[in-house]
A = this chain, B = another copy of it.
Amino acid sequence: MNDTFLKACRGEAVDHTPVWLMRQAGRYLPEYHAVRKNYTFLEMCKTPEAAAEVTIQPIDILGVDAAILFSDILVPLEKMGAPLEFQEARGPVFLEPIRSRAAVDKLVIPDPEADLGYVMDTIRILRKELTGRVPLIGFSGAPFTLATYLIEGGSSKNYFQTKKMMYTDPQLYADLLNKITDCTIEYLKAQAAAGAQALQIFDSWAGVLAPRDFAEFAIGYVKRIIAALKESGVTVPIIYFANNGATLLPQSLESGADVLGLDWRININDAVKVVGSRVSLQGNMDPIALLLPEEKMEERIANILNQAKGARGHIFNLGHGIVPEIPPAKAKFFVETVHRLSRKG
């Protein structure tokens, strides 16, 4: 197996910098649309054969060094008892936002195999189909990010309802976050048991918090997840990605993650100054920079590789998910260029 990705997560020597793309199984690929047209988005998450098929597409098409499970961070919340819809115009919508004691108390901790078996089945299919190729990354949302969707009822402009609960009813907020945390621990344990070879925790909205609020209201839950996973014997690398989290790095470092993901707003060499050799780093080209002419993209990739030289390990990635408008040939050039420029003479 090409285990370059796993080695870089652990800070071991590699013969090239591994690379994958957030949302690499996604709408920029015509092959994805060919499968997707037969299902709604949620149906596809819940159909293991289809989810596995699109998971593998970028391995074949782009030559990336890791596969990431096709799913969505919100699917476990549905099974906590929060009805979820994906609407064309608004994106994910929770029809009954969770803002009261009664609503929090009603949430349940799902049994991953019984309630979210389609995710574990997808992982099992993928491990069979990927054998000898690349490692498979499982994932979840981070509790703060998941909570924002439940509390706001969907995406949000300024996270007013979430912060209102944090600031005015911290006990209710903590109870909600602890339930989500318990759910996430079981969910990620089950993914590892089913065969996930690394786990990424996406904190997509962490960057809306002041450092002191991130410390008080967000990172502790991530730390508890990672500690519980390690205590339960999960040994796969764990990646924590706090999007827009440049000022949150010192605290992210205390999460216990093996790898920290970086968005494009921070120079990797500045991140290395904060994290030293305690973790590996993943990132971080601006996803829209995939539009750059080849020569300029190459220069940008070289610059990031160079910045990352001081890191314990480096997994190349975008700073956020690839967007639907990117021509696949550009993504392919990106992957090839990372490989070519980083390969040791």
Q: Report A's interface with B, CB cutoff 8 A.
A: 158-160, 163-164, 167-168, 207, 209-213, 244, 246-247, 264-267, 270, 286-289, 291-293, 296, 300, 303, 319-320, 323, 325
Contact status B293-A160, CB under 8 Å = no
Q: Is the interface of A mostly helix, strand, loop or mixed?
A: helix
Closest B residue to A324 by beta carbon equals B160
A209 surroundings in chain B (CB, below 8 A): 265
Closest B residue to A208 by beta carbon equals B265
Contact status B289-A167, CB under 8 Å = yes
Contact status A164-B265, CB under 8 Å = no
A303 surroundings in chain B (CB, below 8 A): 212
A244 surroundings in chain B (CB, below 8 A): 207, 244, 265
A289 surroundings in chain B (CB, below 8 A): 163, 167, 210
CB distance from A205 to the nearest CB of B (A): 12
A292 surroundings in chain B (CB, below 8 A): 167-168
Residue in A160, A167, A291, A325 whose Cβ sees the most chain B Cβ within 10 Å: A167
Contact status B210-A163, CB under 8 Å = no
CB distance from A219 to the nearest CB of B (A): 14
CB distance from A323 to the nearest CB of B (A): 6
